[in-house]
């Protein structure tokens, strides 16, 4: 076990509310105990990790618990992965200073003080989950993700529980479209998921290299692929890559949250949200996450 000190303010229990509202087989969350457990893919292997929140919002501590046979190199990778997944180094005070100038945001900032996004374990998992979630309600999308994980059939044992492992690109690339259609995936969605995995495996998409690219370069790299549009890349940039200034303005949830926050008579259109979001630069990703969280 070791400790990680996030940049304050950091409200770990508050952060657990979103994954709790989207139950997943790959994560085990104990809200009362403020813990988050899942299998994490390292460069060497997959290891189970439990993250426990301790301290306070202004003096936060994360305890990382993992198997005793984790090497020093793997320990460093676990620490880096957890830090990235929980946005531990994000400076939320700069975000708050800018947003507090806008009176509509004052109550929401106070309500969600210390919240920051939880990113996905790795880039492949993130993109597959976003593709699955396209034009589906949250509950059914979560069901399809669970079925995909079940089809992968791999797990790691940890503290008397079996933690499912999200399928690798190689696994998914080897499936047929019918394999996913048999799990209630539409034909198109089955094609999009498997074709993306095959693009990763055959080198047409180099996921690791995406981290070195600017946002617009990532749009250029991914949007030519079937089934990947602007909204898909925006959510991937936010939940997969942790980019701070992304605005998925076409998202119905974002539009509903903006309508509620600003007391609008009608749900705003995409372009209206994009114009309004110019006031939130360079923190539009965090504003988006707070808007989504306001609906939970």
165-187: burial string, b at 16+ Cβ within 10 Å, e else? bbbbbebbbebebeebeeeebee
pLDDT tens digits for range 60-98: 999 999 999 999 999 999 999 999 999 999 999 999 999
Give me the chain's average pLDDT, please. 95
Q: Region 189-193: what's the mean pLDDT?
A: 98
Do the strands 60-65 and 27-30 form a parallel or antiparallel pair, or are they unpaired?
Answer: unpaired
Q: Is the pLDDT of residue 168 over 90?
A: yes
Q: Is the pLDDT of residue 285 over 90?
A: yes
Q: Nearest 5°: phi and psi at 168?
A: -80, 165
Q: Does 174 sit behind a cis peptide bond, omega within 30 degrees of 0 on the bond before it?
A: no
pLDDT tens digits for range 18-42: 888 877 889 999 999 999 999 999 9
How does DSSP assign 140-160, residue by residue?
HHHHHHHHHHHHH--EEEETT
Q: Is the pLDDT of residue 1 over 90?
A: no
Q: Give the pLDDT score at 25.
A: 85
**pTM recorded for the entire structure:** 0.95
Q: Give the pLDDT score at 296.
A: 85
The domains found in the chain, sorted by start residue, are 2-89 (3.30.310.20), 123-239 (1.10.340.30)
Catalytic residues: 251
For residue 269, the 8-state DSSP code is P
Rounded to 10 deg, the angle between the 230-239 and 123-133 helix axes is: 140
Q: Is the pLDDT of residue 146 over 80?
A: yes
Q: Give the pLDDT score at 159.
A: 86
């Amino acid at each position: 076990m070791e400790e990680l000190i996030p940049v304050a303010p950091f409200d770990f229990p508050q952060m657990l509310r979103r994954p709790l509202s989207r139950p997943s087989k790959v994560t085990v969350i104990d809200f009362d105990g403020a813990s988050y457990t899942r299998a994490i893919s390292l460069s060497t292997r997959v290891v189970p990790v439990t993250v426990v929140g301790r301290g306070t919002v202004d003096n936060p501590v994360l305890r990382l618990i993992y198997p005793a046979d984790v090497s020093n190199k793997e320990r460093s990778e676990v620490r880096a992965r957890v830090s990235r997944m929980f946005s531990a180094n994000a400076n939320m005070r700069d975000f708050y200073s800018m947003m507090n100038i806008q009176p509509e945001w004052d109550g929401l900032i106070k309500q969600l003080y210390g919240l920051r996004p939880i990113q996905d374990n790795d880039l492949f998992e993130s993109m597959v989950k976003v593709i699955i979630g396209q034009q589906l309600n949250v509950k059914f999308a979560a069901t399809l993700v669970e079925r995909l994980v079940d089809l992968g059939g791999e797990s790691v044992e940890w503290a008397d529980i079996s933690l499912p492992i999200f399928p690798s690109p190689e696994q998914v690339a080897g499936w047929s479209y019918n394999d996913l259609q048999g799990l209630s995936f539409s034909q198109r969605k089955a094609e999009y998921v498997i074709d993306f995995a095959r693009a990763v495996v055959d080198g047409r998409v180099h996921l690791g290299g995406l981290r070195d690219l600017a946002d617009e370069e990532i749009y250029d790299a991914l949007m030519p692929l079937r089934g990947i549009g602007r909204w898909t890349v925006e959510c991937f940039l936010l939940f997969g890559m942790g980019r701070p200034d992304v605005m998925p303005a076409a998202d119905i949830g974002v539009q509903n949250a903006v309508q509620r926050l600003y007391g609008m008579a009608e749900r705003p259109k995409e372009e209206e949200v994009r114009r309004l979001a110019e006031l939130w630069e360079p923190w539009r990703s965090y504003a988006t996450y707070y808007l989504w969280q306001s609906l939970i």
